[in-house]
């Protein structure tokens, strides 16, 4: 796909709804509290786009995901400046003894993102999981942790001091509030804890993503295509923030991952491995040629869903109708 605009988008929401394909894809490992991922796919003159906001998102937030799907299918993306994108392994909040099984799905990855601060687990569970990743991947691997805003400022300062000896590349969204992230960076520096801070939710769920830069709340920003309204919108935010960016995904099918690859491939600079290897978390996909890590990278190439797989994993009729209504609500909420 190129940056050439063929047409502004579908003529009406019913054009989207009429061609909607909704599938339910099982996961290999429970992740973000779910064991399967339901996504809706649309098709336009530029190819396929994915609309898959999580169920708790309302129409206003889902509207940005719909903009991203329309961009992929009707508008296209900026031209890439690289032909492949380095990606990290993603380790869910599994027991330490299951870490090896998870890492085995990520061919050639030398960076791992480890989920921490999972509800119902202990701090020792997090430490044991990170220790297992370091032990298995060796001293030269990059390890980052992702708390999804699950720690208070005090907890974050304490846990990152305890995890720092494992040599963290950065801590992703250790606290939910952007002001706490700014305070945390000061506290860590004051206490000699060398763990950079990355902002994720403070970018993709914020009314004002630029607050991260203004408050000096992060060393790195994590950007996702769909929640930011598309590749072009995400590129603009990265440029305005002026911070190193990591492109990540949200348990997407290969169609959704392709949009993330387009963003990572178009960034002027890419200093960190991206969180786009999450196709390895899926037990099924919509294409016979899924975007999976090979040699630690994903290629920049198009993805074509397979009709047989779309039919095999089609969601039940009530869910199909639920997604149609959701598309209509998101369309009505678009700016």
Catalytic hit among 21, 37, 113, 224: 224
Per the annotation, the verdict on 115 as an active-site residue is: yes
Which of 64, 115, 204, 272 is flagged as catalytic?
Answer: 115
Contact 319, 52 (CB under 8 A): no
Among residues 144, 52, 152, 19, the alpha carbon closest in space to that of 91 is found at 144
Is residue 200 marked as binding? Answer: yes
Radius of gyration of the chain (CA): 19
In whole angstroms, what is the distance from residue 211 CA to residue 201 CA?
A: 12
Task: Decide if 113 is catalytic.
Answer: no
The annotation status of 172 as a binding-site residue, yes or no, is yes
Beta bridge partners of 232: none
Residues annotated as binding site?
146, 172, 200
Instruction: Catalogue the active-site residues.
Output: 115, 224
Residues annotated as binding site for Mg(2+)?
146, 172, 200
């Amino acid at each position: 796909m190129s940056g050439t605009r063929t047409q502004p988008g579908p003529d009406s929401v019913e054009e989207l709804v009429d061609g909607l394909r909704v599938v339910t894809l099982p996961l290999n490992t429970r992740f973000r509290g779910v064991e399967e991922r339901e996504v809706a796919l649309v098709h336009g003159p530029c190819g396929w786009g994915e609309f898959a906001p999580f169920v708790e998102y309302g129409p206003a937030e889902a509207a940005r995901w719909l903009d991203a799907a329309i961009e992929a299918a009707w508008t296209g993306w900026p031209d890439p400046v690289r032909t492949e994108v380095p990606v990290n392994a993603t380790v869910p909040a599994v027991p330490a003894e299951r870490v090896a099984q998870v890492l085995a799905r990520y061919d050639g990855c030398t960076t791992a993102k480890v989920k921490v601060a999972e509800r119902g687990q202990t701090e020792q569970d997090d430490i044991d999981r990170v220790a297992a990743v370091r032990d298995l991947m060796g001293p030269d691997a990059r390890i980052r942790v992702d708390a999804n805003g699950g720690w208070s400022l005090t907890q974050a300062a304490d846990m990152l001091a305890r995890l720092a000896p494992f040599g963290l590349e950065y801590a992703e969204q250790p606290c939910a509030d952007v002001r706490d992230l700014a305070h945390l960076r000061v506290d860590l520096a004051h206490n000699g804890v060398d763990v950079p801070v990355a902002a994720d939710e403070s970018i993709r769920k914020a009314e004002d993503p630029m607050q991260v830069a203004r408050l000096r709340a992060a060393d790195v920003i994590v950007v996702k295509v769909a929640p930011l309204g598309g590749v072009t919108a995400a590129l603009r935010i990265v440029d305005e923030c002026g911070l190193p960016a990591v492109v990540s995904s949200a348990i997407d099918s290969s169609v959704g991952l392709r949009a993330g690859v387009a963003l990572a491939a178009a960034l002027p600079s890419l200093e960190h491995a991206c969180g786009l290897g999450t196709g390895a978390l899926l037990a099924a996909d919509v294409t016979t040629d899924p975007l999976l890590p090979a040699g630690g990278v994903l290629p920049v190439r198009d993805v074509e869903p397979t009709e047989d797989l779309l039919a095999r994993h089609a969601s039940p009729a009530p869910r199909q109708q639920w997604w149609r209504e959701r598309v209509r609500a998101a369309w009505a909420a678009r700016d």
